[in-house]
Chain A
Amino acid sequence: MSAARVGIVTFPGTLDDQDAARAVRLAGAEAVPLWHADRDLRGVDAVFLPGGFSYGDYLRCGAISRFAPLMDELIPAARGGLPVLGTCNGFQILCEAHLLPGALTRNAGLHYVCRDQRIRVENTDTAWTCEFAPGQEIVLPIKHGEGRYVADAATLAVLESEGRVVFRYAGGNPNGSLGDIAGITNEAGNIVGLMPHPEHAVEELTGAPSVDGRGFFTSILKRLVNA
């Protein structure tokens, strides 16, 4: 069969699209560029919303991107089950688009933080984490100024009770996220958003001193093959 096709979305100000495409290719899938201004998902099997400062993060991170023409296609497709991964700014956009609950606010320490962070995988039933072991600790870089996950108490209770907290920070919470939450999923488990960057942890030579990010891409490929 032909390789799985994973769309990589570029908004004005997206920065990690090249890294995302590389990670997808290294996993053996085809990376398909998707342009914010096109109302066209180009028939992809899954979508990766990479990090960056879309629209300069002006107004509020992700607030303008959610109105991009491409999102008119992506939002219903994601609700319909299309696997979608959002990292960093991509996570912020998913929250702004109400595909995931809650919001990402200014880090508690008020500084942008770039560091290699230990993360615990809490949910291995999603489209993007099925190749990890429950409770597995991995190392991924984080690099953000507004990654403090917040939601109201009722939402948090639902996320916790339904096992929808996919990742938690381990060895110290870098940004003050409630419940040490680093990433979450929707009810169906096809949409995952997280602040850390799996695409920066896929090669020995470059990026973080870890290749733990590969698990995201082997997970989605396995899911797509079995779908």
Chain B
Amino acid sequence: MTLDTVKRALETPGERQPYAELGMKDDEYQRVREILGRRPTGSELAIYSVMWSEHCSYKSSKVHLRQFGTKAPKSEALLVGMGENAGVVDIGDGWAATFKIESHNHPSYVEPHQGAATGVGGIVRDIMSMGARPIAVMDSLRFGGATQPDTRRVLPGVVEGIGGYGNCLGLPNIGGEVVFDPCYIGNPLVNALCVGLLRKDQIKLATAPGPGNKVVLFGARTGADGIGGASVLASATFEEESQAKRPAVQVGDPFMEKLLIECCLELYQADVVVGIQDLGAAGVSCATTELAAKGTGGMRVNLNLVPLRDPTLRPEEILMSESQERMMAVVAPDDIPAFMAICDKWDVPATVIGEVTDTGRLVMTWDGDVIVDIPPGTAADEGPVYERPLVEPAGQTALNAAGPCRLPRPTTGAELRQTLLTLLGSPNLASKEWVTSQYDRYVRGNTVLAQPADAGMLRISEVMPGAQDTDRGIALATDGNGRYAKLDPYTGAQLALAEAYRNVAVSGASPLAVTNCLNFGSPEDPEVMWQFAEAVRGLADACRTLGVPVTGGNVSFYNQTGTDAIHPTPVVGVLGVIDDVSRRVRPGFVAGDLRVVLLGETREELGGSEWAHVVHGHLGGLPPRADLEAERRLASVLTTAAADGLLEGSHDLSDGGLAIALAESCLAGGVGCTVTLPGDDPFVDLFSESAARALVCVRPEAFDPLAELCARQGVACHGLGVTGGTALSIENLFGVPVEELREVHTKTLPGIFG
């Protein structure tokens, strides 16, 4: 087998190379030739093809994502912004939190269990590589229609994969979403979020400075995972008839990842790490080029030293392998013995494979021959950037014109009661316990709130040594609504942010920073690209208004089958801080004899609503207004009231409106309520999805202080009634026993998934 060395590349300039099979365009390949002044070797082609892919280079999204920086609100909390493995924010008392959400959509469709599992593994390593201890995960999931046959294949596997991996890592799963819509049937969305904690003066970065420093690959051995593309390369380069079929989806080993977590934390504590990077997409290619590009600029690597699980792997395949549970560290030579001793304690294989140089070149050898010799920045940072054409979708105006106003509405008490039960038992609003009971929400003992609470919350003290000196906690929520974004991507993205922001505030925490996962169809379709551009613009504008910066995230394009794209689905995660975690507000009606209070204003807003979707299968009109100033005022009321001890329980209003919020609040505490609707139209009161609203319950004596607080902030405050009894009773309209609510709410998913 001929090795394609740099020497050979110079000697055979005209050799045909399979760049198109690797997804490179003609002009991209030509640019590589110009950069190198010769044709690339097979290994170099492997590196450029994968580093310049949409997934790694953000070539279609970059020009839009810049707004997250240019429009970013001033935030003293932001310690590390976009561009690193994950953003880092200051949460006070010397502590920092790092968090990020990332998609693993396509692998999860191909092989749901491993696809979802390795999605968790990847995001956890991103958090580890910032120098943090990962402390919790959550997942935002979207599937096809609940009763569509393929959903029964995909959902159980995804849930088992997330649970199997996350549970074995010892990370509590504290929240997320499960949404069903036929638009996701061929393109399920698996977005995994991880949050970690670290001292704010101990942030680690992906950089390789200091010539002479050693490059250490540690963790699992490298196998043939996820290198379908490289096999094409190898066979074409070497003119072989056939290469063994390589698996396209990576396989995870959560036990190794758990060892890696503990091992990394000990390495950080021993202060023997100069720079660190996890190996995710594009494996060794990505880690070496990115580390070198951000450091002194040069690196020399002997690829023969990479420990292999499959000894037959060729260098091109080693470079592209996406084997899981691997990290790369830059270590001073004197620290190597200490580094190796810690890896040995945790039974983590570790190998020096190269060193940092000041040559400005990334040079790799195989059997002594040079097979890669490139300026690393050209692969890591200087990939192509596209300004793709944008066109408003042809049917957009008609879609917006076809509002829900003509849909028949329930009017009598009996009809409204039935509508409530129909919505409550529909797959999107039904209890997700079938899913969440497969996740460990208690491990490590710091979980203050977890699903079905609006936000997950963790206390900081006791998370790791030294944290005992803080009363603080962090809260996290993710939200997104593809139907809203389909109707208006600009507003839809803002509503996703608004809901996550509100959910954090409902728990008593102040929203601080944002991560996002932007799930869209093909960027080569101008109508999809318009949706993307609008969503990014909307989200960036909303972040500025709410004063919460985007710290990082991920774009997932090509979520479409043929010409059928998913609804544009920006998923937004918000992190908040609560100064005294014991002041957290529990979900729902936690006791009887409390006043039930609705905060915020209700308008007739039913476009894209759950009611229109479930009862009429209708999607049209405009989504609810995103009134960000109102969101900010509401959040201020909620967090102030929580800090003052005014709130006993709370819940945000979103999908399904007040009706669903009341029912869920009764279910959360197992307590009924008797309420009178505030407006003239019971249907609108119950089912409108106006944003910037929340339902709270307070002790009777706390009502006046809360009303005064609301008046000062300009937030509408309606006393609706009281908690107590065993039924949800809407005066003059209907009542439903809490037990009936529970039965309707809990039977749907077990009925479908067993």
**A169-195: contact bitstring with B at CB < 8 Å (1 yes, 0 no)?**
000000000000000000000000000
Task: Please state if A19 and B254 are interface contacts (CB–CB under 8 Å).
Answer: no
**Given contacts A56-B254, A112-B164, A112-B438, are A205 and B582 in contact (CB under 8 A)?**
yes
Task: Please state if B438 and A206 are interface contacts (CB–CB under 8 Å).
Answer: no
How far apart are A61's CB and chain B's nearest CB, in angstroms? 11
Task: Please state if A53 and B258 are interface contacts (CB–CB under 8 Å).
Answer: yes
The answer to whether the Cβ of B743 comes within 8 Å of any Cβ in the partner chain is no
Tell me the residues in window 98-153 of chain A with beta carbons closer than 8 Å to chain B beta carbons: 111-115, 141, 143, 145
Task: Please state if B258 and A18 are interface contacts (CB–CB under 8 Å).
Answer: no
Query: CA of A205 to CA of B448 in the docked complex: distance in angstroms?
Result: 6
A174, closest chain B residue (CB): B437
Query: CA of A203 to CA of B446 in the docked complex: distance in angstroms?
Result: 10
B447, closest chain A residue (CB): A206
Task: Please state if A141 and B163 are interface contacts (CB–CB under 8 Å).
Answer: no
Query: CA of A22 to CA of B168 in the docked complex: distance in angstroms?
Result: 20
Query: CA of A42 to CA of B330 in the docked complex: distance in angstroms?
Result: 37
The answer to whether the Cβ of A27 comes within 8 Å of any Cβ in the partner chain is no
Tell me the residues in window 367-389 of chain B with beta carbons closer than 8 Å to chain A beta carbons: none
The answer to whether the Cβ of A208 comes within 8 Å of any Cβ in the partner chain is yes
Which B residues are in CB contact (< 8 Å) with A115? 437
The answer to whether the Cβ of A5 comes within 8 Å of any Cβ in the partner chain is no
Number of A-B contacts (CB under 8 A): 89
Task: Please state if B440 and A114 are interface contacts (CB–CB under 8 Å).
Answer: yes
Tell me the residues in window 405-461 of chain B with beta carbons closer than 8 Å to chain A beta carbons: 436-448, 459
Task: Please state if A16 and B168 are interface contacts (CB–CB under 8 Å).
Answer: no
Contact of B167 among A22, A143, A206, A207 (CB under 8 A): A143
Task: Please state if A143 and B168 are interface contacts (CB–CB under 8 Å).
Answer: no
Which A residues are in CB contact (< 8 Å) with B346? 12
Query: CA of A53 to CA of B165 in the docked complex: distance in angstroms?
Result: 11
The answer to whether the Cβ of B253 comes within 8 Å of any Cβ in the partner chain is yes
Query: CA of A46 to CA of B160 in the docked complex: distance in angstroms?
Result: 36
Contact of B168 among A57, A111, A113, A114 (CB under 8 A): A57
The answer to whether the Cβ of A52 comes within 8 Å of any Cβ in the partner chain is yes
The answer to whether the Cβ of B644 comes within 8 Å of any Cβ in the partner chain is no
Q: Output the residue of A19, A113, A141 with the most chain B CB within 10 A.
A: A19
The answer to whether the Cβ of B18 comes within 8 Å of any Cβ in the partner chain is no
Task: Please state if B442 and A141 are interface contacts (CB–CB under 8 Å).
Answer: yes
Task: Please state if A205 and B167 are interface contacts (CB–CB under 8 Å).
Answer: no
Task: Please state if A15 and B443 are interface contacts (CB–CB under 8 Å).
Answer: yes
How far apart are B446's CB and chain A's nearest CB, in angstroms? 6
**Given contacts A12-B346, A53-B255, are A200 and B170 in contact (CB under 8 A)?**
no
Which A residues are in CB contact (< 8 Å) with B581? 205
Task: Please state if A56 and B445 are interface contacts (CB–CB under 8 Å).
Answer: no
How far apart are B462's CB and chain A's nearest CB, in angstroms? 7
The answer to whether the Cβ of B78 comes within 8 Å of any Cβ in the partner chain is no
Query: CA of A42 to CA of B279 in the docked complex: distance in angstroms?
Result: 39
Task: Please state if A207 and B445 are interface contacts (CB–CB under 8 Å).
Answer: yes
The answer to whether the Cβ of A199 comes within 8 Å of any Cβ in the partner chain is yes
Contact of B442 among A12, A58, A143, A145 (CB under 8 A): A143
The answer to whether the Cβ of B150 comes within 8 Å of any Cβ in the partner chain is no
How far apart are A169's CB and chain B's nearest CB, in angstroms? 15
A37, closest chain B residue (CB): B345
Task: Please state if A18 and B445 are interface contacts (CB–CB under 8 Å).
Answer: yes
Contact of B445 among A52, A112, A199 (CB under 8 A): A199
The answer to whether the Cβ of A13 comes within 8 Å of any Cβ in the partner chain is yes
Which A residues are in CB contact (< 8 Å) with B448? 205-206
Which B residues are in CB contact (< 8 Å) with A200? 442, 445
**Given contacts A58-B255, A205-B582, are A15 and B170 in contact (CB under 8 A)?**
yes
Q: Output the residue of A143, A203, A206 with the most chain B CB within 10 A.
A: A206
Task: Please state if A208 and B442 are interface contacts (CB–CB under 8 Å).
Answer: yes
Task: Please state if A53 and B168 are interface contacts (CB–CB under 8 Å).
Answer: yes
The answer to whether the Cβ of A197 comes within 8 Å of any Cβ in the partner chain is yes
Contact of A111 among B438, B444, B459 (CB under 8 A): B438
Which B residues are in CB contact (< 8 Å) with A113? 437-438
Tell me the residues in window 202-222 of chain A with beta carbons closer than 8 Å to chain B beta carbons: 203, 205-208
A23, closest chain B residue (CB): B445
Task: Please state if B582 and A56 are interface contacts (CB–CB under 8 Å).
Answer: no
Which B residues are in CB contact (< 8 Å) with A58? 255
Tell me the residues in window 313-344 of chain B with beta carbons closer than 8 Å to chain A beta carbons: none
**Given contacts A15-B170, A143-B167, A206-B446, are A55 and B255 in contact (CB under 8 A)?**
yes
Task: Please state if A206 and B459 are interface contacts (CB–CB under 8 Å).
Answer: yes
Task: Please state if A112 and B347 are interface contacts (CB–CB under 8 Å).
Answer: no
**A38-81: contact bitstring with B at CB < 8 Å (1 yes, 0 no)?**
00000000000000110111100000000000000000000000
Which B residues are in CB contact (< 8 Å) with A141? 442
Tell me the residues in window 567-607 of chain B with beta carbons closer than 8 Å to chain A beta carbons: 581-582, 584
Query: CA of A208 to CA of B170 in the docked complex: distance in angstroms?
Result: 16
Which B residues are in CB contact (< 8 Å) with A199? 445
Query: CA of A56 to CA of B325 in the docked complex: distance in angstroms?
Result: 14
Contact of A19 among B168, B253, B256, B444 (CB under 8 A): B444
**Given contacts A112-B438, A206-B459, are A19 and B255 in contact (CB under 8 A)?**
no
Query: CA of A114 to CA of B447 in the docked complex: distance in angstroms?
Result: 14
Task: Please state if B442 and A114 are interface contacts (CB–CB under 8 Å).
Answer: yes
Which B residues are in CB contact (< 8 Å) with A53? 167-168, 254-255, 258
Query: CA of A114 to CA of B164 in the docked complex: distance in angstroms?
Result: 12
Task: Please state if B442 and A207 are interface contacts (CB–CB under 8 Å).
Answer: yes
The answer to whether the Cβ of B259 comes within 8 Å of any Cβ in the partner chain is yes
Tell me the residues in window 18-43 of chain A with beta carbons closer than 8 Å to chain B beta carbons: 18-19, 22
**B61-91: contact bitstring with A at CB < 8 Å (1 yes, 0 no)?**
0000000000000000000000000000000
How far apart are A20's CB and chain B's nearest CB, in angstroms? 9
Q: Output the residue of B256, B258, B436, B448 with the most chain A CB within 10 A.
A: B258
Task: Please state if B167 and A112 are interface contacts (CB–CB under 8 Å).
Answer: yes
Which A residues are in CB contact (< 8 Å) with B459? 205-206
Query: CA of A150 to CA of B87 in the docked complex: distance in angstroms?
Result: 48
Which A residues are in CB contact (< 8 Å) with B167? 53, 112, 143, 145
Which A residues are in CB contact (< 8 Å) with B164? 112
Task: Please state if B258 and A13 are interface contacts (CB–CB under 8 Å).
Answer: yes
Query: CA of A214 to CA of B347 in the docked complex: distance in angstroms?
Result: 35
Task: Please state if B444 and A18 are interface contacts (CB–CB under 8 Å).
Answer: yes
Which B residues are in CB contact (< 8 Å) with A207? 442, 445, 447
Which B residues are in CB contact (< 8 Å) with A55? 255
Query: CA of A206 to CA of B459 in the docked complex: distance in angstroms?
Result: 8
Which B residues are in CB contact (< 8 Å) with A52? 170
Which A residues are in CB contact (< 8 Å) with B438? 111-114
Query: CA of A18 to CA of B135 in the docked complex: distance in angstroms?
Result: 13
Query: CA of A57 to CA of B164 in the docked complex: distance in angstroms?
Result: 11
Which A residues are in CB contact (< 8 Å) with B259? 12-13
How far apart are B467's CB and chain A's nearest CB, in angstroms? 12
Task: Please state if B440 and A143 are interface contacts (CB–CB under 8 Å).
Answer: yes
**Given contacts A53-B255, A112-B164, are A12 and B445 in contact (CB under 8 A)?**
no
Which A residues are in CB contact (< 8 Å) with B445? 16, 18-19, 22, 199-200, 203, 206-207
Task: State the B residues within 8 Å of A (CB).
Answer: 160, 163-164, 167-170, 253-256, 258-259, 346-347, 436-448, 459, 462, 581-582, 584
Closest 9 CB pairs of A and B: A56-B255, A15-B170, A19-B445, A200-B442, A53-B168, A143-B440, A112-B438, A114-B440, A112-B163
List 5 A-B pairs, Cβ < 8 Å: A12-B346, A16-B443, A53-B167, A57-B255, A145-B167
In the complex, besides A56-B255, A143-B443, 16 extra interface pairs with C-beta distance below 8 angstroms are: A13-B258, A15-B168, A15-B443, A16-B443, A18-B462, A55-B255, A56-B258, A57-B255, A113-B437, A114-B439, A115-B437, A145-B167, A203-B445, A205-B459, A206-B448, A207-B442
